[in-house]
Amino acid sequence: MMRLMARSSGAELALLLLGGFQSMVDDVVGELASRGHEGVRASHEFALRAIEEGADTATELGRRLSVSKQAAAKTIAALERLGYVERETDPSDARVKRLRVTARGHDMMTLGATLFTEVRDRWAAQIGAEQLDALEAHLAQLTKNRSAGTEGLARLGEDLGEAI
């Protein structure tokens, strides 16, 4: 029996995709930390963006992120602790706690977006803008039948379990 069986080319590709993702995220999160946003995780950025885009209650955030409302509530608690969102009871419906992204939250979102784009620009410089555009387009095509948006993030835990 042969030892050291070659890693399948498919698995290689999966690892490469994961590595690319990790690389970007590590970079952005690290830079974010060094610019006054310690403790933030990429998930926070995505959740914050969802809130800003209208998911301004725990239940709705859970829906957008494809996660239970309890899980969303935990994320919100973290966001609140870090000063990125504020909660206040909706005057027109005493059941709901309305979420509002704070100024610091907006700062973080903006900086995060910028940092992500900077990484992408660096990549473009490295392999050529056309190549990177093509890579992105192909990836979009290959995953277009699945929910590749922010919702996908929610299933990361699950997929990670499966994936790591």
Choosing from 41, 49, 104, 120, the residue that interacts with DNA (CB under 7 A) is: 41
The binder of 46, among a second copy, DNA, none, by C-beta within 5 to 8 A per type, is a second copy
Distance CA 5, CA 26 (A): 30
The binder of 48, among DNA, a second copy, none, by C-beta within 5 to 8 A per type, is none
Interface positions, 102-161, toward a second copy (CB under 8 A)? 106, 109, 112-121, 123, 126-127, 131-132, 134-136, 138-143, 146, 148-150, 152-157, 159-161
The binder of 74, among DNA, a second copy, none, by C-beta within 5 to 8 A per type, is DNA
Query: What region, left, alpha or beta, does residue 73 occupy, with left being phi > 0 and alpha being psi -120 to 50 degrees?
Result: alpha
Interface positions, 93-122, toward DNA (CB under 7 A)? 93-97
Q: Which is nearer to DNA, 49 or 69 (CB)?
A: 69
Q: Are 35 and 107 in contact (CB under 8 A)?
A: no
Interface positions, 70-109, toward a second copy (CB under 8 A)? 106, 109
| Helix/strand/coil (H/E/C) assignment for every residue in the chain | CCCCCCCCHHHHHHHHHHHHHHHHHHHHHHHHHCCCCCCCCHHHHHHHHHHHCCCCCHHHHHHHHCCCHHHHHHHHHHHHHCCCEEEEEECCEEEEEEEEECHHHHHHHHHHHHHHHHHHHHHHHHHCHHHHHHHHHHHHHHCCCCCCCHHHHHCHHHHHHHHC
Q: Which is nearer to a second copy, 19 or 83 (CB)?
A: 19
Q: How far is the CB of 144 from a second copy (least distance, A)?
A: 9
Q: Is 37 in the site for DNA (CB under 7 A)?
A: no
Q: Is 133 in the site for DNA (CB under 7 A)?
A: no
Piece of 18-26, 29-37, 68-76, 101-109 that binds DNA (CB under 7 A)? 68-76
